[in-house]
């Protein structure tokens, strides 16, 4: 199997890369294991200097790297440049804060907890934010003294190899961050390798279950960030204009291919009709087209298979009685485009409410009151992010407390940032990335007590 960059805007294969042989994989794992001995003993200040160097390279190379992201997965060029900038910011944040996050935790006069790195960590990463999702693993891991081993999605090989080269050029020891061009079927063997200490995965529920099964069998720490079907709750007290405007962005960010994109919009009955009109108008006005065109709001889906899946979910809802308020078709043009779509009158018999919808398709449901809104929001197997809109302090507090999710954003769309823990509950996975919580996921909390 060759790894290929297939441009979603055209459907054409632009570059191919051969997978690493078994011998090449073994050599890379050997270098990673050796690099850990250097990284674990390196002073935090030196690690921070290297990380700042990587951030500087990212900033200097931003447009060129952004073009790779757009070519490989179809995100707009503007959003690709923003992703590169966010990665540089994330690297700098961990460089500047790791010392405080990893400081010994003093218990009493004779006891403290120190945090030691575990070793090489395998990261199995997806294609939708091909640079940021690796960065949010790599930045805390490398600052902690661990080593990164990346198995990236097969359709973003240029991004994967760029990351390998980035940390090398930043001055990291050889093997401190390494990319493996291997197929999914080969991941289990890498997890089982004694040189791998732990594994983290961002991806589908099915992929997460497969990785967790192998990691559990060999008793290795595992962090999983899986799918989401995030609710976006609008109460009658909300700013309707702003919430509807933000809702459009929250649904179609990254062409709708984001685990934390708002997907199910739940609106209190007294403002349901007015809010729906505003939201549908905003979705229908979006420009769909060439992701390199500055005027484009929504680019193509990542692959023909992904567009087929989205179309199937919409067709299922339509056949079972949902109202298509806008969109609902694939434009007749080259590339894997799909119109921004709003579905009304959806029911739990429809796949759009029981599965993750990974494209620019939204459902809007009516809630009679706050209790009903919470019931609808929690009526899902997922629990990743959530967004609630209200100007009433009592409503805000009740929604924060009662919604089952790893994140609740109030009067804002859900986003990841270095200072906040990122992850979910239920079938959205377990463990956390980012923040002080995430940096300690792959560390040994070593209890120390000193006798007299």
Structure tokens at 174: 């050889």
3-class secondary-structure state, position 344: strand
Residue ranges with strand state E in 138-286: 147-151, 177-179, 198-202, 221-225, 230-234, 262-268
Q: How many CB atoms lie within 10 A of CB 75?
A: 29
Q: CA 267 to CA 274: how far, in whole Å?
A: 10
Q: How many whole angstroms from its chain centre is CA 51?
A: 21
Q: CA 299 to CA 73: how far, in whole Å?
A: 10
Nearest to 283 by CA among 328, 238, 237, 335: 328
Q: Are residues 123 and 442 in contact, defined by beta-carbon separation less than 8 angstroms? A: no
Q: CA 251 to CA 255: how far, in whole Å?
A: 8
DSSP track, 383-417: ES--EEE-S-HHHHHHHHHHS-SS--EESS-----
Q: φ, ψ for residue 325 (rounded to 5)?
A: -75, -30
Q: Which of 225, 356, 433, 441 is catalytic?
A: 225
Q: Are residues 20 and 160 in contact, defined by beta-carbon separation less than 8 angstroms? A: no
Q: CA 283 to CA 263: how far, in whole Å?
A: 13
Strands 221-225 and 12-17, bridge-based pairing: unpaired
Q: Which of 222, 259, 276, 326 is catalytic?
A: 259
**Whether residue 225 lies in the annotated active site:** yes
**Whether residue 276 lies in the annotated active site:** no
Catalogue the active-site residues: 225, 259
């Amino acid at each position: 199997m060759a790894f290929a960059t297939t441009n979603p805007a055209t459907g054409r294969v632009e570059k191919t890369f051969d997978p690493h042989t078994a011998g090449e994989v073994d050599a890379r794992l050997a270098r990673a294991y050796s690099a850990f001995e250097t990284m674990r003993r390196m002073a935090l200040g030196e690690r921070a200097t290297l990380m700042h160097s990587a951030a500087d390279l990212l900033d200097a190379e931003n447009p060129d790297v952004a073009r790779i992201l757009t070519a490989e997965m179809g995100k707009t060029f503007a959003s690709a440049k923003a992703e590169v900038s966010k990665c540089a910011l994330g690297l700098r944040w961990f460089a500047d804060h790791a010392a405080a996050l990893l400081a010994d935790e003093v218990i009493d006069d004779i006891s403290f907890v120190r945090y030691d790195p575990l070793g090489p960590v395998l990261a199995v990463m997806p294609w939708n934010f091909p640079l940021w999702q690796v960065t949010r693993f790599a930045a805390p891991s490398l600052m902690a003294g661990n080593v990164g081993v990346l198995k990236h999605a097969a359709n973003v090989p240029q991004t994967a190899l760029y990351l390998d080269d980035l940390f090398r050029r930043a001055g990291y020891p050889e093997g401190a961050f390494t990319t493996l061009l291997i197929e999914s079927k080969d991941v289990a063997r890498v997890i089982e390798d004694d040189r791998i200490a732990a594994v983290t995965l961002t991806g589908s529920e099915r992929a997460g279950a497969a990785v967790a099964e192998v990691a559990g069998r060999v008793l290795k720490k595992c962090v999983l960030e899986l799918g989401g079907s995030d609710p976006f709750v609008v109460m009658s007290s909300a700013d309707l204009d702003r919430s509807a405007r933000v809702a459009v962005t929250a649904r179609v960010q990254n062409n709708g291919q984001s685990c934390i994109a708002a997907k199910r919009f739940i609106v209190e009955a007294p403002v349901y009709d007015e809010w729906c009109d505003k939201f549908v108008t905003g979705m229908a006005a979006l420009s769909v087209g060439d992701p390199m065109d500055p005027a484009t709001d929504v680019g193509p889906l990542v692959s023909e298979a992904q567009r087929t899946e989205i179309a199937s979910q919409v067709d299922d809802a339509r056949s079972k009685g949902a109202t298509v308020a806008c969109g609902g078709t694939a434009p007749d043009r080259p590339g894997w485009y799909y119109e921004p779509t709003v579905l009304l009158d959806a029911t739990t018999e429809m796949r759009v409410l029981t599965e993750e919808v990974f494209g620019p398709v939204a459902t809007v449901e009516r809630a009679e009151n706050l209790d009903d809104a919470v019931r609808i929001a929690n009526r899902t197997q997922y629990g990743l992010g959530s967004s609630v809109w209200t100007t009433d302090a009592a409503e805000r507090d009740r929604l924060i407390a009662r919604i089952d999710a790893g994140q609740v954003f109030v009067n804002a769309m859900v986003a990841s940032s270095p200072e906040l823990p990122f992850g979910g509950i239920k079938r959205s996975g377990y463990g956390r990335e980012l923040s002080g919580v995430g940096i300690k996921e792959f560390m040994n909390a070593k209890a120390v007590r000193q006798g007299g």
